[in-house]
Amino acid sequence: MVKKGVQRILLCGFMGCGKTSVGQALAFRLKWDFLDTDAMIEKRQGISIPEIFAQQGEEAFRKMEEETACSLGKRKNTVISTGGGFLMREQTLQALRENGGGFESVVLLDCSFETCYQRIKNSDRPLVRNNTKEQLEQIFLQRQQRYREAADVVVSNEGIVSQTVEAILKEVPIL
């Protein structure tokens, strides 16, 4: 259920579902700020996500996501694009909810695995580099339930970004 008076919209979903492109378009449409949690982590660490995975490992990166979730609660009028694994740890979701003050809406951008795969297959993302298509599909399936549990709203993003933005605006009551 979506709360009244949303001041933050957090986009979640698998890699390649369109969180960044939809997030930027939604923020522009609302005249809100746009944040990308992966970009925030890269800026804070001074290195790329693939370098963080290589040098410090996935567990260290997930802890960085949790710390980022704690810092998001202070933001107002912001669309936030999360990394594909951002909501996988209970601690990160809990930090987000506890620090958000109840003014956020979590929106799952829903896409088929095939759509996501076509968008990410040539990327340098650690999970893409280190897994076969079949393994990625298993990760996709494992994460889907978690995304749905965390989401207040589920919106398809198989088509045009502007249509997805309008669908979100119909579902989320903006303050």
* Domain regions of the chain by residue span: 8-169
Nearest Cα residue to 125 out of 48, 22, 56, 65 = 48
Strand partners, 105: 9
Predicted pLDDT of residue 2: 43
Q: How far apart are CA 96 and CA 12, in angstroms?
A: 13
What are 31's two structure tokens?
A: 């005249």
Q: How far apart are CA 52 and CA 100, in angstroms?
A: 27
Could you name the CATH architecture of 8-169? 3-Layer(aba) Sandwich (3.40)
Tens digit of each residue's pLDDT (9 = 90 or more) over 8-34: 899 999 999 999 999 999 999 999 999
Label residue 103 by pLDDT band (50, 70, 90).
low
Tens digit of each residue's pLDDT (9 = 90 or more) over 133-173: 999 999 999 999 999 998 999 999 998 999 999 999 999 98
Label residue 125 by pLDDT band (50, 70, 90).
confident
Contacts 24+ apart (CB under 8 A), 145-148: 146/87, 146/88, 147/12, 147/13, 147/14, 147/87, 147/108, 148/108
Cβ–Cβ contacts within 10 Å for residue 1, how many? 5
Predicted pLDDT of residue 102: 60
Tens digit of each residue's pLDDT (9 = 90 or more) over 57-81: 989 999 999 889 888 877 789 999 9
Predicted pLDDT of residue 100: 63
